[in-house]
A and B are shown apart, each in its own frame.
Chain A
């Protein structure tokens, strides 16, 4: 399967713990996006990478959130000192200059107890 993959698919953690999610984009795509989706809502943009450069960050991305994309391949999203309000589905998407659409992974569902 050459689609976008995300790991883990589910994560349950206690408030205050740190969590890290991984996204592997479609191999030829140089653009990578992170979105957050809460129950009953549409996805909301968090951040965007072109190759290894993080070019845009949403105001939703507080200082407890950090994202990296070393070497312009996979990306990680870390949340420090998790709060119950961080419970959501975290979606990763990839794309390229050749495509205007973004292709999404299956998401990581985070539950903070």
Chain B
């Protein structure tokens, strides 16, 4: 079985501060994908980033960056120079790539980010 844990339930920052969201996952499978989704107050989940288990290279995309470490089963996500529009709930998710597990996403409990002006 797969499990995703987001230990931070809520983070509050002032605009322009950096925000790092923690994600720890559990799976016995060697091939999997990790995702971050954003859920603004409107409710729709918005895909942000994806990383596969064979690629530990950390990247930056605009104000978003991520740190994937297989050794610690962590997939942390950073928003640089936060803006008020970044206020939302952020979910980390895992999908294993074996037929028996289908294609379902296993989500963490989410971290609410509040960016104050």
Check if B45 sits within 8 Å of A43, measured CB to CB: yes
Residue of B nearest to A4 (CB): B44
How far apart are B94's CB and chain A's nearest CB, in angstroms? 11
- Chain B residues with Cβ below 8 Å from A100 are 33, 50, 52, 95
Interface of B is mostly: strand
- Once A and B bind, how many residue pairs between them come within 8 Å at the CB atom? 59
* Partner-contacting stretch, out of B14-22, B64-72, B77-85, B97-105: B97-105
Check if A43 sits within 8 Å of B107, measured CB to CB: yes
Segment 89-113 of A: residues with Cβ below 8 Å from B = 89, 91, 93, 95, 100-107, 109
Task: Name the interface size band of chain B.
Answer: 20 to 34
- Chain A residues with Cβ below 8 Å from B43 are 89, 106-107, 109
Query: Is there a chain B Cβ closer than 8 Å to A42's Cβ?
Result: yes
Query: Is there a chain A Cβ closer than 8 Å to B35's Cβ?
Result: yes
- Chain B residues with Cβ below 8 Å from A62 are none
With A33-B105, A42-B107, A42-B109 given, name 17 new contacts (CB 8 A).
A31-B103, A42-B4, A43-B105, A43-B107, A44-B107, A48-B104, A55-B102, A91-B45, A95-B103, A100-B95, A102-B103, A102-B105, A103-B47, A104-B46, A107-B43, A107-B44, A109-B43
